[in-house]
Structure 1
C-alpha cells in the first residue's frame, strides 16, 4: 500500500507539472518552391532532437521511400540510400508517423545519408513537438548522435507532397530557421532549466556534458555583456492530503512546498527527492550570490565542478562536498547557507517560490515541463543540447551583422585560471597548477611539467609520478638540510608517493622528524655501549678503552689484553723471522761445503795440491 501511495504521489507531481501546464510548440517556416501546384509557405514543428539550423536555411529535394516508409528499420536492409551525389541537391526524406520513436526514424534516415527528415502526421491535429523517448529502457546510444534537423509536418501537406512525387514531379523545399527566434535588442537573454540529479540516465549524461562543453562560450558572452543568462530549477508541491506521508517527507522540504522525484524511484535506498531539492536550491543560491557580486558566469564553474567532484554514484552528493566546491571558487559558504535557509521551516523559501512562478509560461513561451529546457529570447530551444547548435541558436537571437565575434569563430580564449586559480589545485612554491584554459572554459587537470606527469583529481590533489619526479620540486615531498647533511623523502624511481628516509618518521610530504634511536633503544644496546643521537642517525661508543664493533653491536678488548695480544703477535713474527734466517744459514753452509768437496776431488785428478799427500797410482800400463 505504501509503495502504491508513493507511486500516486509521483504521478501527482507529474500531473501538476504537465497536465495543468501550457506547452507551446516552436515552429519554423517550410517553403515549397516547386511544383507550382503546392508552392507556398507552411508551418512545421521543430523536433527536440537533432541540430536545427537556427539563423540559417537549408534547401533540398524530397524523397519518399518505396519501402520502410515509417523509417523504423535500417534502410540498408532495403538497399535504399539518400546520400547526395556530386552536383546534386541535399535529400529531405519524407516518412510517415507511427510504429516507432521519432528519434529512431531520424537515426535511420541519417545513416542512409539524408540531410533532413520530414515526418508526416498520421492524423488531422495541431502540430506537436517530437521528443526523445522517456521510457527507462530507451537508452540507445544513437539518441545523442542524431545531427540532422527534423520537422513534423501536417497530414495534409504530407499527402500533397506524396501525390506530386507519385506523378513524377520534383518537390523542392526550403527550410527556414531565420525567424525561429526573435531578436528584439542587442542583448540575448536565455534561461537554462536544469537539475542537479545525475542519476537519470542518458539525459543527465547529455546535460552534464553540455554544461562542461558550453561553459567557456557562455562565460565569454556573459562577461562581455552580450547575453544575460539565468539558471532555473523545477520543483513541485505535495498535495495537502499527503504532506505527512513518508513519501512526501522523503521527497519534499519546507513541509511539502518544494518537492522532486526520488532519483532511483526507490524510497528505501540511495538519495531522496529532498536531497535533490536542496542541491538545486544550493545551486540557485550560488547563482544569486555570484550575480550579486557581479560574476554570474561563475555558476557554470560551480555546476561543472560539483558534477565532477560530488557524483551520486560515489556517495558525495552532499553539503560537505558542495561546500568544498564553493570554497574553492572563493565564495563564503555562510552566504550560501543564509540563502538556502531552513529546509524544515513551515514557510516559503523566496528562491524556490520564485522558481515555481517562473515555470508558468508567459506570452509566447509555454510552461516549462521538460528537463533540460533552454529558453532563448523567451522562445524554447528545440534540438540537441550541443555546444555548436546552442551557440548558433543564441547567435541567431542577434540582429544580422550585430553578432559578437564569438558567433563567427570557434577560436575562443578564456582566462578563468587568473582568478582563484579556477578552483583547481596548485603548488605556489613551484608555480605549478592544474588549471588550464581551453575553448570550453577552464579544466582542472593534473599537468605534465618537464617530463614529469602529475596524477590526481586536479581539484584538491595532484602528485608527481615517474622516474624524474624527484628532480621537480623534490616530487612534492619533504626535504631538509642540517649540519651539512641533506635528506629527502622522495624516492627517485617509477613509484609515486613520499616516504621518510631511514632515521626519520612522518607523512613524507609536510614533515619528516628525526627519530631518537637512543631514546627508543633502537641502537647501541650492549651493556657497555654509549649512544648519542644525531639528525637522521646516531653514534655508538664504548666506556673506558673498549673498542665498539658496529656489525656485532658489542664492545671488545681493554689495554692489557690489547698489549698482550699485540706482543704475542710480534713474538710470533720475530720467531718466524729467526727460524727463517737460521734455515737460510744452514742451507747456505751445507750447500757450500758440498760444492767445495766436489770441486777438490775433480781438481785432484789433474793437478797436485800443495797440501795433498801421495795419491796411489791405480793405472795398469800393461793394458795400454
Structure 2
C-alpha cells in the first residue's frame, strides 16, 4: 500500500509540473435561456456535465421543478413518492437540485429514474462554474454501476441563478427555460476536425471499458466520415514525466521510458504483479506510430481497426498485452511492422521521442481549448466534448460541428435529428406544382434558402419568394411564370433573354406570374386606325381588314385599291423587264467589241510570222559559223 501511495504522489507531482507552466482547464458551457417569468427573463451560462447525453446542436424546452423534499437529490425520489414524468403532450420537467452530500452522477441518476428530462444543479457557493465529472475514487466507480446508464443532460448553474429561480418558484411562478447547445461547439466550415484522447490500458475499470466499447461501436461511423473527407481525425495519448528528484526510484523506472520522460500509472496500481506503466506507454506509442504510418499511406482510418482488434486479441487479462501480439495485428491490417518499429525508436535512450514529446505538447491548452486532463476526452473543432462517451451522443456532437447545409447524410438520419422541413415545409417558400422548396434540413434545424434545381438557380428571400434565374430557367416549370394555351396557340411570360423575372408577352398585360390578360387592341385603338379599316380582336393579337374592294397593308396601316395595286404591280414588272433588256443589249455589244479586238490581234500576230507588216522594219540576219558547233 505504501508503494502505491508513493507512486501516486510522484504521478501527481509530474502531472502538476507538466500542466502548471502553460495550460489551464476550461469549463465547457452551453446557454440557459429563461423565457418566463419576465422578472428573471435572460440568457445565462451553465456548465455541461461530463456524463449523460448533452443535446449538442439542439435545444430542449421545459419548466423547472424544485422538490420540497430530497432537495439535493441524493436519495431515490421513489422513497418520497415523487415523480417528474411529463403527461402526454405536456412540457418536459427540468429538476433543480442543490450541490452537496453526494456525487453529481448520483443526483442525475435519481432525477432520471424519477422521470426528469434534464437536471440542473445549483452551486452552493459563489464561485466560477466548474465541470461536474464522474467520481474518480475506485470504490465509488465500482459502486456506481449506473454511470453508463445516465442519458439525460445535466448542467451546473451558479448560486445566484439558482437563487433567482428558487425565488420565483416560491412565489408560485412557473419558470420556463430553454437549454441550448446549438453554439456549444463551433461550426465554421464543411469539415470537422476532432481528436480522441485515449489509452491502451484495459485494466483501469469503468472508464477503460467505456472507451474500448466506444471505439468498437463508433468505428464504422468514424471510418465512413474519414474516408469521404467529412472529418479529419487524430488520436492522442496522455503521458506524464517523472520529476527529476525521483528519476532513480523504482517507481519511475517501472512506469517510465526514455529516462523518466514519458510515464503512465501502473495498470493494476500494484508494482508486484501484472504489467507496468512503461508497458502502457510503449503500447500507446505503438498506436500513435501505427496511425502515423497508416496516415502517410493515405489510410488513417485503419487506426480504428488496429485499436479494436488489439483490445480483442491482446488483452492484459490473458497476458497477451505484448509487442508480438501487437505486431500480428499490425501485419493482419497490411501495415509495415518495420516502419512502425522505426517510429517507436529506442525506449531506453536518454533522449526525447519526437512523437511522445509532441503528445505532451498537445496536452497543453491553446486558444479557447483547455488542457486535456480527463481520460477519455474528445476535442471537436478545438473544443472539449462533455458527456457520455456513447456513439449516438458523440455523433451528434460531431454533426453539430458542420456548417449548416454541409452535413453528411448520416447527420440527417431520423435517429440523429428531426427533419423540420416535413412539417409545414419549415415555414419556407415552396412551389408544389414543380415540387421545389427553399427548406433545407440541417442538423441544427432548417434554413430557408432558394434552391438550385437541375442547374437552375432560384433567387429570393427563401421565406416568401423564390424565382428561377439564369438562361435555362424557362425549362423548369416555365421559370415560375404564367403560361397559356388557347386555340392551338401558346404564350409564355418567361422570356429566355431575361435572367430573372416574368413579363407578359406582346398582346397581354398582367404581373406575368399569376396571370396575363389579353389586350383588346381594337377597343383600345392601338391597331387598324385607318378610316376604311375593320379590326377583329384575337387571343394575344388582332386581325385587320378593309371594306369593299380594298386591300389592307399592315406595314402602312392603310387600305388601298386592289386594282391600283395590280396596275402598280404590272408597271413595276414592265420597268424591271425593260431594264433587264437594256442591260442585256449593252452587255452583248460589249462582248462583240471585245471579241473583235481579240481576233484582230491574233490575225496580226500570225501574219507577222510570214511577211513584214507596214509598221515592222527588217532586222539583222545572224549566221552560225561552221567551225563553231
In structure 2, what is the Cα distance between the partners aligned to 1:86 and 1:198?
A: 44
In structure 1, what is the Cα distance between the partners aligned to 2:186 and 2:64?
A: 29
Partner of 1:302: 306
Q: SS at 1:267's partner residue? A: coil
Residue 113 and residue 286 in structure 1: after superposition, are their counterparts in 2 closer, same or farther (change >3 A)?
A: same
Is 1:341 matched with 2:345?
yes
Partner of 2:25: 23
What does the per-residue CA deviation read over 1:50-104, in whole Å, with 9 as the maximum and x for residues that have no partner? 1000000000000000100000000000000000102210000000000000000
Residue 410 and residue 284 in structure 1: after superposition, are their counterparts in 2 closer, same or farther (change >3 A)?
A: farther
Structure 2 counterpart of 1:77, from 51, 76, 79: 79
In structure 1, what is the Cα distance between the partners aligned to 2:166 and 2:6?
A: 50
Is 1:68 matched with 2:49?
no
Deviation of residue 314 (structure 1)? 0.6
Q: How does 1:139-538 map to 2 (within 5 A)?
A: 139=142, 140-409=144-413
Structure 2 counterpart of 1:53, from 52, 55, 64: 55
Q: SS at 1:214's partner residue? A: helix
The answer (yes or no) to whether the contact 2:19–2:364 under 8 Å persists in 1 is no
What does the per-residue CA deviation read over 1:217-250, in whole Å, with 9 as the maximum and x for residues that have no partner? 0000000000000000010111111111111110
Residue 3 and residue 55 in structure 1: after superposition, are their counterparts in 2 closer, same or farther (change >3 A)?
A: closer
In structure 2, what is the Cα distance between the partners aligned to 1:363 and 1:216?
A: 31
Paired positions, count: 412
Q: SS at 1:141's partner residue? A: coil
In structure 2, what is the Cα distance between the partners aligned to 1:24 and 1:396?
A: 20
In structure 1, what is the Cα distance between the partners aligned to 2:234 and 2:77?
A: 43
* TM-score computed with the length of structure 2 as normaliser: 0.64
Deviation of residue 3 (structure 1)? 5.8
Q: SS at 2:30's partner residue? A: strand
Q: How does 1:96-115 map to 2 (within 5 A)?
A: 96-115=98-117
Partner of 2:131: 129
Residue 407 and residue 7 in structure 1: after superposition, are their counterparts in 2 closer, same or farther (change >3 A)?
A: closer
Partner of 1:12: 13
Deviation of residue 336 (structure 1)? 0.6
Partner of 2:34: 32
The answer (yes or no) to whether the contact 1:16–1:236 under 8 Å persists in 2 is no
* TM-score computed with the length of structure 1 as normaliser: 0.65
Deviation of residue 187 (structure 1)? 0.6
Deviation of residue 268 (structure 1)? 1.3
Deviation of residue 360 (structure 1)? 0.5
Residue 220 and residue 208 in structure 1: after superposition, are their counterparts in 2 closer, same or farther (change >3 A)?
A: same
In structure 2, what is the Cα distance between the partners aligned to 1:3 and 1:122?
A: 34
Partner of 1:531: none
Deviation of residue 307 (structure 1)? 0.5
The answer (yes or no) to whether the contact 2:15–2:241 under 8 Å persists in 1 is no
Deviation of residue 141 (structure 1)? 1.4
In structure 2, what is the Cα distance between the partners aligned to 1:67 and 1:26?
A: 31
Q: SS at 1:164's partner residue? A: helix
Deviation of residue 411 (structure 1)? 9.3
Structure 1 unaligned regions, length at least 5: 413-624
What does the per-residue CA deviation read over 1:392-438, in whole Å, with 9 as the maximum and x for residues that have no partner? 000000112211101112799xxxxxxxxxxxxxxxxxxxxxxxxxx
In structure 2, what is the Cα distance between the partners aligned to 1:238 and 1:88?
A: 57
Deviation of residue 19 (structure 1)? 5.6
In structure 1, what is the Cα distance between the partners aligned to 2:375 and 2:130?
A: 17
Structure 2 unaligned regions, length at least 5: 417-629
The answer (yes or no) to whether the contact 1:17–1:369 under 8 Å persists in 2 is no
In structure 2, what is the Cα distance between the partners aligned to 1:386 and 1:409?
A: 17
In structure 2, what is the Cα distance between the partners aligned to 1:352 and 1:81?
A: 51
Deviation of residue 5 (structure 1)? 3.9
Q: SS at 1:87's partner residue? A: coil
Deviation of residue 41 (structure 1)? 0.3
In structure 2, what is the Cα distance between the partners aligned to 1:372 and 1:308?
A: 19
The answer (yes or no) to whether the contact 2:314–2:320 under 8 Å persists in 1 is yes
Residue 61 and residue 326 in structure 1: after superposition, are their counterparts in 2 closer, same or farther (change >3 A)?
A: same
Q: SS at 2:138's partner residue? A: coil
Partner of 1:520: none
Deviation of residue 12 (structure 1)? 1.8
In structure 2, what is the Cα distance between the partners aligned to 1:12 and 1:104?
A: 30
In structure 2, what is the Cα distance between the partners aligned to 1:382 and 1:339?
A: 32
Residue 411 and residue 109 in structure 1: after superposition, are their counterparts in 2 closer, same or farther (change >3 A)?
A: closer
In structure 2, what is the Cα distance between the partners aligned to 1:6 and 1:38?
A: 50
What does the per-residue CA deviation read over 1:148-170, in whole Å, with 9 as the maximum and x for residues that have no partner? 00000010110111111111100
The answer (yes or no) to whether the contact 1:193–1:232 under 8 Å persists in 2 is yes
In structure 2, what is the Cα distance between the partners aligned to 1:252 and 1:203?
A: 22
What does the per-residue CA deviation read over 1:463-497, in whole Å, with 9 as the maximum and x for residues that have no partner? xxxxxxxxxxxxxxxxxxxxxxxxxxxxxxxxxxx
In structure 1, what is the Cα distance between the partners aligned to 2:163 and 2:85?
A: 24
In structure 2, what is the Cα distance between the partners aligned to 1:197 and 1:313?
A: 11
Q: SS at 1:72's partner residue? A: coil
Deviation of residue 17 (structure 1)? 5.2
Q: SS at 1:43's partner residue? A: strand
The answer (yes or no) to whether the contact 1:63–1:91 under 8 Å persists in 2 is yes
Residue 4 and residue 29 in structure 1: after superposition, are their counterparts in 2 closer, same or farther (change >3 A)?
A: closer
Residue 113 and residue 2 in structure 1: after superposition, are their counterparts in 2 closer, same or farther (change >3 A)?
A: closer
Deviation of residue 11 (structure 1)? 2.8
Structure 1 counterpart of 2:92, from 87, 90, 93: 90
Q: SS at 1:375's partner residue? A: strand
Deviation of residue 116 (structure 1)? 0.3
